[in-house]
Amino acid sequence: MNREKCTAVVLAAGKGSRMGTKIQKQYLEICGKPVLYYSLAAFAASPIIDEIVLVTGEGKTDYCRKNIIEAYGITKVNKIVVGGKERYESVYKALREIEPEGYVFIHDGARPFVDESIIERTYQAVKEYRACVAGMPSKDTVKIVDENDFAVNTPERRFVWCIQTPQVFETALIRHAYFKLMENEENEIGITDDAMVVERMENCAVKLVEGSYENIKITTPEDLILAESLIKKRN
C-alpha cells in the first residue's frame, strides 16, 4: 500500500538576536553538536519522512552542507534554500521547491527536541484533519493586556495552549494558502506561524496535537543550559 509523500521543511534562517551571541542560535553547540543537527537528525531517522528541505540564511548554504549535513552524515536533505527576511517568506520559498502532494512538516531548526513520537502523532492527525500543529497546554495562567500592560482578560487555562513545531499540513493546502498570502502585503500583517496562514487564507480549522514540554525552542542563553541537561538526561 502506497502512502503519501512526507516532506520536512526545517527553518534555520533566523537571526536569533535575543541570544546575544555573534553566532546564530541554530549553529551554537549543545553537547558538542550544533542545535540544528538535532532536528535534522530526527527527521532523517524517521520512517515517516521521505525528504528534507533545509532553509538557511544568506551565505550559510555551504556551511550547513559541509559542517552539518556531510559532517554528521545526515540523509534525506534533498534541497537547501536561502530564506527570506521574515519567517513566512522562508516558508514560502521552501514550499515553492516541493511538489504539491502529500504532507509537509514545517519545523523550527531551533527546536532540537522533536522526536519520533511527535512526528508520528502529528502525522496521524494531519491525515484526519488536513492541518495540525504540535503544542502543549499552558502550565501558567495567561493574562490578556491592553496597550498599557494592564490585565483586561484572563482566558480559562484549559483553553490555552503554547504552540510548538512541527506544524503539519496537506502540502497542496499550505502551498495554496501561502501563495494567496504573498499576493498582497496586507495579508502578511501579524502572521507569526503557519497555522495562521491556513486559518486566514483558507478558513481551515487547525487541530492541536500534543507535542512535548521538552520540545523547547532555543531563544535565550538559559535555553542552552536547559537543552544540555535534557540531552544528558536522554543519553
User: What mean pLDDT value characterizes the chain?
Assistant: 94
With respect to residue 181, please indicate whether it lies within any of the assigned structural domains.
yes
Task: Output the domain CATH number for residue 194.
Answer: 3.90.550.10
> Which pTM does this prediction carry?
0.94
With respect to residue 1, please indicate whether it lies within any of the assigned structural domains.
no
pLDDT at 1: 47
Helix and strand tally (H, E) in the chain?
A: 7, 11
pLDDT at 14: 77
Structural domain that includes position 180 = 6-234
| Number of domains forming the structure of the chain | 1
Tens of pLDDT, residues 126-145: 999 999 999 999 999 999 99
Give the three cell numbers for residue 185. 502585503
With respect to residue 229, please indicate whether it lies within any of the assigned structural domains.
yes
With respect to residue 38, please indicate whether it lies within any of the assigned structural domains.
yes
With respect to residue 74, please indicate whether it lies within any of the assigned structural domains.
yes
Tens of pLDDT along the chain (235 residues) come to 468 999 999 999 977 555 556 668 899 999 999 999 999 999 999 999 999 999 999 999 999 999 999 999 999 999 999 999 999 999 999 999 999 999 999 999 999 999 999 999 999 999 999 999 999 999 999 999 999 999 999 999 999 999 999 999 999 999 999 999 999 888 888 899 999 999 999 999 999 999 999 999 999 889 999 999 999 998 8
Strand bridging mode 103-108 / 131-137? unpaired
Tell me which residue of 215, 212, 24, 203 sits closest to 130, measured CA to CA: 203
